[in-house]
Amino acid sequence: MKRVYNFGAGPAMLPTSVMEQARDEMLDWNGMGISVVEISHRSKEFEALLTETDELIREVSGLPDNFEILYMHGSAQMQFAAVPFNLLGLNPAHKAAYVETGNFAQLARKEASRFGNITIAASSEASNFDHIPELDVSALDPDTSYVHLTSNNTIFGTRWNQFPDTGKIPLVADMTSELLSRKLNFDQFGLIFAGLQKNLGPSGMAVVLVRKDLIGHALPQTPSLLNYATFEKNHSMPNTINTFAIYIMNLMLKWLKAQGGLPAIEQLNAEKAKLLYDVIDSHDFYIGSAQKAHRSHMNVTFNLKDSALDKKFLDEALARDLYALKGHRLVGGIRASIYNAMPLEGCQTLADFMKEFAQQNG
């Protein structure tokens, strides 16, 4: 058996120790002689696991008590509908403002437009989403129910380094590709959601961190399983929850805590990204996709000066056990996704390969 350095954007790599523990406990979890994927979600043992996961999220992230933790089906894209269903009712005008910084921000805006009056508050589409646009908060309609942004853009390799102050208008952030990769001030947000498949576990579920006063305003047509109040009332189990996803997330949170928590992982992520950006900036062989002031620490995107060499680069990288470096189909080029579980050694190995490849082919 071998393990490659997996730079895939998601489902992403998990720490080897987490995978090994899941393997070892697959047939006998918690000494019960049964797998966690077989156990009833209504059992006292699973209830204890779910409650412990709540506590770990609060401890690791610093989430305050005025936020509710919800575990919901459908990963992040289901929240593109759930957010407008639950928050447009905060104001009779049913208005929301979206900041477009990439493909997923656009998808979220298009989905929300089916349910209310949705405007584009700012966009960087004109420059192919190579930066985070300025948001003029003073221009927001005071009747706006919420402002939506995508905090990190996996396809285009940008991120918000500073979040806007939207005042009394709740700020909603899709943090799928970076939740628990850096410290946050939760006072800035009304709602944060993230699919699990980057830093938190397997695909198919989302965690929603929502201020409690924002629950209970759903539009009348909101489906029960998209209503935040339904999940709050039932501890996220109005129906059968994904028990395996909760189990893996629990292990991931314990792993993150053991690494030193958010302060340590944020510093490590910055070091990993710097290794790759330093190579890009020191070789005209590589062209970074994102403007320097807006670069992501989770998704390093770049192009080769000669795109005809892309396949050779990817083939030779794979031969070095550097896996899944092909850029998204919308933009091409190269993308290295370096989420929490990617070790520093993986980024160093990729950086060394990039230098060597540039020397041999430049």
Q: Domain coordinates of the chain in residue numbers?
A: 16-258, 260-361
Residue 211 confidence (pLDDT) above 90: yes
Q: Average pLDDT of the chain? A: 97
Across 261-271, average pLDDT:
98
Pick among 3.40.50.11820, 3.40.640.10, 3.40.50.300, 1.10.10.10: CATH of 16-258 = 3.40.640.10
Residue in 101, 107, 156 with CA at minimum distance from that of residue 289: 156
> pLDDT of 137-187, one tens digit each?
999 999 999 999 999 999 999 999 999 999 999 999 999 999 999 999 999
> pLDDT of 42-59, one tens digit each?
999 999 999 999 999 999
Strands 144-150 and 171-174: parallel
Strands 158-159 and 322-323: unpaired
Domains 16-258 and 260-361 share a fold: no
pLDDT of the residue at 113: 98
Retrieve residue 132's tokens: 């985070």
Taking domain 260-361, whether its CATH number is 3.90.1150.10 is answered by yes
pTM for the model stands at 0.97
* C-alpha to C-alpha distance for 308 and 219, rounded to whole angstroms: 51
The answer to whether the CB of 174 falls within 8 A of the CB of 194 is yes
- Determine which of 11-15, 250-254, 328-332 has the lowest per-residue pLDDT on average: 328-332
* C-alpha to C-alpha distance for 174 and 154, rounded to whole angstroms: 12
Across 89-110, average pLDDT:
98
The answer to whether the CB of 252 falls within 8 A of the CB of 275 is no
Residue 123 confidence (pLDDT) above 90: yes
Edge to edge, the sheet with strand 67-73 lists: 67-73, 205-211, 191-195, 171-174, 144-150, 95-100, 117-123
> pLDDT of 221-246, one tens digit each?
999 999 999 999 999 999 999 999 99
Task: Please give the biggest Cα pair distance in the chain.
Answer: 63
3-state helix, strand, coil in the chain (%, to 5): 40, 20, 40
pLDDT of the residue at 127: 97
Residue in 156, 150, 25 with CA at minimum distance from that of residue 98: 150
* C-alpha to C-alpha distance for 181 and 40, rounded to whole angstroms: 32
* C-alpha to C-alpha distance for 52 and 158, rounded to whole angstroms: 33
The answer to whether the CB of 342 falls within 8 A of the CB of 323 is no
The answer to whether the CB of 361 falls within 8 A of the CB of 46 is no
Instruction: Give the model's confidence band at 1: pLDDT under 50 very low, under 70 low, under 90 confident, else very high.
Output: confident
pLDDT of the residue at 227: 98
